[in-house]
Amino acid sequence: MKKKLPWTLMLGSLLLSLAACGGSDEAANDPGGAGSEAGERKLSGSILAVGSTAMQPLVDQAGQTFMTQAPYQELTVQVQGGGSGTGLTQVSEGQADIGNSDVFGEEKLEAAQAAELVDHQVAVVAITAVVNPAVTIDDLSKEQMVDIFTGAVKNWKELGGEDQEIVIVNRPASSGTRATFETFALGQSKLPDLQGSIQEDSSGTVKKLVAETPGAIGYLALSYLGDDSIKPVNYDGVQATVENVQNGSYPVWAYQHMYTKGEPSEAVQAFLDYMVSPEVQEGDVVELGYIPVSGMQVTRDAAGNVSKN
């Protein structure tokens, strides 16, 4: 009996864990059960928004002020990062109320999953190429940028700069910022990573590396500019400014989406309305370096077609 005990334990636990996993994907895909309480929700309870780290500061700050307002004091807004993919996955599986994403859901999810989601655009982010301050170039045409990011040009002197190797500081292939930059600045999608390019997963690190590495080029959201440690580069002669984005002359920008699965509940709808209210659009959005979606004179659909309002 003594000898048999460990075996029975092992067998028992094996059976238990197999039963626990049991091939049921819902159970396996709910790490930590970050689910929202199902069923009817009055204007009390909690709203869980998960996803894009680029949007986190905005949603977080707006959520804080939202909770202090009289009608919504019973509500709590929780904001978590994890990336656009995580946000879209969790909202389409019903684990989060809101999925924050800086790309259209169609780009990450299966068509059937994306069709269930309702898009709420709350802000715009513009992205500009930035170089190390020692690089003497201030303006790059679209063709030159394509040459740089596809590896056709490897040295700044080929573009009229100093004799200095180009070091590309990229975001990972799955990043929303990278997808936006490749689609609207280079007109390509899913460029392969070049030998010797550097990938970092946060804009803060990209900024640091471009500032320190001789000959480096990367791309950042406008909110990361504002000091002299890096130098923004004009795109086809157009400077990345809020005005140029809003009037449609600067093309490299993306919406910040807050997706819900189907029509949102009353509480979630109240929060989404608050996000597009003048208070947030002219306050938090501008203050944190995003561009108000209310001021856009152009709109863009999921296929990338831009039209004048």
Partner 1 sequence: MGQMGKDAALNQGVKNRKRREKHYWEDWIGRIYTSICVVVLLVVIVSIVFFVSSKGLATFLENGVRLREFFTGTRWSPDESFGALPFITGSFAVTLLAALIAGPLSLCAALFMTEILPGRGKRILQPAVELLSGIPSVVYGFIGLTVIVPFIRDYIGGQGFGILAGCLVLSVMILPTITSIMADALASLRGGLRESSLALGATRWQTIYRVVIPTVLPALLTGIVLGMARAFGEALAVQMVIGNAPHIPSSLTESAATLTSTITLSMGNTAMGSVHNNALWSMALVLLAMTFVFVILVRLLERRNRI
* Beta carbons of 140 and 125 less than 8 angstroms apart: no
Instruction: Give 45 or 94: the residue with its C-beta nearer to partner 1.
Output: 94
- Residue number with CB closer to partner 1 (43 or 115): 115
Nearer to partner 1, 52 or 265 (CB): 52
Nearer to partner 1, 83 or 218 (CB): 83
3-state secondary structure of 11: helix
Asked if 115 is part of the footprint of partner 1 (rule: CB under 8 A), the reply reads no
Residue 84 within binding range of partner 1, rule CB under 8 A? yes
Residue 306 interacting with partner 1 (CB under 8 A): no
Query: Rounded CA gap, 10 and 12, in Å?
Result: 5
Determine the Cα–Cα distance for residues 171 and 100; give it in Å rounded to an integer: 19
Q: Decide if residue 34 touches partner 1 (CB under 8 A).
A: no
Residue 246 or 256 with smaller CB distance to partner 1: 256
Site for partner 1 in 177-216 (CB under 8 A): 190, 192-201, 205, 208, 212-213
Residues 237, 241, 244, 247: what is their CA dihedral angle, to the nearest 10 degrees? 170
The H or E element that residue 257 is part of is strand 253-261
Q: Are 176 and 52 in contact (CB under 8 A)?
A: yes
Residue 167, interface with partner 1 (CB under 8 A)? yes
Using alpha carbons, select from 301, 283, 86, 288 the residue that is nearest to residue 203: 288
83 binds partner 1 (CB under 8 A): yes
Query: Given the complex with partner 1, which of 117 and 122 has the nearer CB atom?
Result: 117
Question: Does an H or E element contain 125, and which?
Answer: strand 117-131
Residue closer to partner 1, measured from CB, 110 or 266: 110
Number of separate helices (H) and strands (E) present in the chain: 12, 14
Window 209-248: residues binding partner 1 (CB under 8 A)? 212-213
32 binds partner 1 (CB under 8 A): no
Q: Is 302 in the site for partner 1 (CB under 8 A)?
A: no
- What is the C-alpha separation between 299 and 276, in angstroms, rounded? 16
Torsion of the alpha carbons at 157, 159, 165 and 168, rounded to the nearest 10: 170
Q: Write the DSSP symbol of residue 71.
A: G
3-state secondary structure of 51: strand
Q: Which stretch binds partner 1 (CB under 8 A): 14-22, 115-123, 156-164, 298-306?
A: 14-22
Q: Does 173 bind partner 1 (CB under 8 A)?
A: yes
In terms of phi and psi (left: phi > 0; alpha: psi -120 to 50; beta: otherwise), the region of 187 is left
Query: Which range, of 10-18, 65-73, 250-258, 273-281, touches partner 1 by CB under 8 A?
Result: 10-18
**Per CB under 8 A, does 289 bind partner 1?**
no
**Which residues contribute to the site for partner 1 (CB under 8 A)?**
9-10, 12-14, 16-18, 20-21, 28-29, 53, 81-86, 88-89, 93, 108-109, 167, 172-176, 190, 192-201, 205, 208, 212-213
